[in-house]
Amino acid sequence: KFNYTDILMGGCSIDAYGVPLTDEALETARNSDAVLLGAVGGDVGNSRWYDVAPELRPEAGLLKIRKGLNLFANIRPAYLFEQLADACPLKKEIIGNGFDMVIMRELTGGVYFGARSTEEKDGELYAVDSMPYSEHEIRRIAIKGFEIAMKRRKNVISVDKANVLGSSRLWRKTVTEIGKEYPEVELSHEYIDSAALKLIRRPWEYDVILTANLFGDIISDEGTGLTGTAGLFGSAELSVSGKGLYTPNQLHYPDESVIGKQKVSPVGMIMAAALMLRCSFGLEKEAKTVENAIEKVLEAKISTEDMKYPGAKIVLTGEMADFCCQFLGKDV
Ligand code: IPM
Ligand code: MG
């Protein structure tokens, strides 16, 4: 039995309270064992939340809850479901046996939280974003990465830009040191640009990708894109104490035109709940049960409009959720 409390974050909170996340909402999140969070969006083009101060945009609420709950470790799984092999953008003869990776993204440091400014200088505007990392921030995410690798294929590829950035050089040095404590795990380093290239040529070579905040943001979308649809996976954001916030992997859903149309897949959110059962509550069997139900839905070739794959029958968001429940053996 779970007890739920609803809190507002993002555009709905801006509309209700004038800020993307109130301190009270953050406190409620802090006092909960886990947080389930829907996609953030409505922030593009002529949206009413677009042309406002950065701290009043919907994303600012997300950054506040990440920092406020100290959610430094972001786990983003991406693998190819056999049922979706035809939807993968890579040719079948290339993708062969699929791929199965976890992107381990640092989430409370780097350029997302570094000093930022815009000023007038020499008659023009001048903007700065800085990308700070401390050893302890790198160390703790590296440890998480190696621990996850120990439960998988024991391979960590750390992705950085150490040929240019000081923060990446510290990243590489620190990850290498931590790596020595995990002799069974094979560690290698790649630059973000070559990793971005290799990921779409030989994705099966990745097991755990360990990377900084901004690189992880970008490369996790690339990883998800390879799965053939963005609507299938969950993402876990964990704190030191193991407290977690769980979201669909496609956390950023800027397209307002879909609102109220029942076109968007609920599967990412359901998979997020499975991750919650596993990571926050240690309910591995239950998490697997949910994931298996999703596989059955895919086998039955049922899909929503946004994640349609060859041969799929398109249903509405609510109907898709009903199918997931049915395959879970639950009444709807
Ligand atoms: C993500 C999202 C967020 C991020 C946005 C919505 C601020 O893109 O979690 O991948 O950049 O971290
Ligand atoms: Mg993103």
pLDDT of residue 256: 75
- Burial 114-123, CB ≥16 within 10 A → b, else e: eeeeeeeeee
pLDDT of residue 241: 84
- What is the distance in angstroms between the CA of the first residue and the CA of the last residue of the chain? 17
Q: Read off the tokens for 78.
A: 């991406």
Answer yes or no: is the C-beta of 217 below 6 A from any ligand 1 atom.
Answer: yes
CA within 13 Å, CB half, 282: 1
Helices (H), ranges, the chain: 11-17, 23-30, 58-68, 92-95, 135-150, 166-179, 192-201, 213-226, 267-279, 284-299, 317-327
Q: Read off the tokens for 130.
A: 């800085």
As separate numbers, helices (DSSP H) first and strands (DSSP E) second, the chain gives: 11, 14
Taking only the tens place, the pLDDT of each residue in 28-49 is 999 999 999 998 776 566 677 8
pTM confidence score: 0.94
Ligand 1 atom 6: residue of nearest CA: 252
Q: Which ligand is nearest to the CA of 67?
A: 1
Residue 159: count other Cβ atoms within 10 Å of its Cβ.
29
Average pLDDT over all residues of the chain: 93
21: which DSSP letter?
A: S
As annotated, the active-site residues are 112, 161, 193, 217, 221
Q: Which ligand is nearest to the CA of 254?
A: 1
Cα distance between residue 295 and residue 29, in whole Å: 31
Q: How far apart are the CA of 282 and the centre of ligand 2, in A?
A: 27
Answer yes or no: is the C-beta of 59 below 6 A from any ligand 1 atom.
Answer: yes
pLDDT of residue 311: 87
Pocket mutation for ligand 1, best pick of 35, 49, 59 (most atoms within 8 Å of C-beta): 59
Which residues are CB-contacts of 238 (< 8 A; sequence separation ≥ 6)? 71, 72, 73, 74, 75, 144, 244, 279
Residue 200: count other Cβ atoms within 10 Å of its Cβ.
14
- For the chain, 332 residues long, the average pLDDT of each consecutive 10-residue run is 94 91 97 93 69 84 96 96 88 91 98 96 97 98 98 98 98 98 98 97 97 97 90 94 90 78 92 96 95 93 87 94 90 56
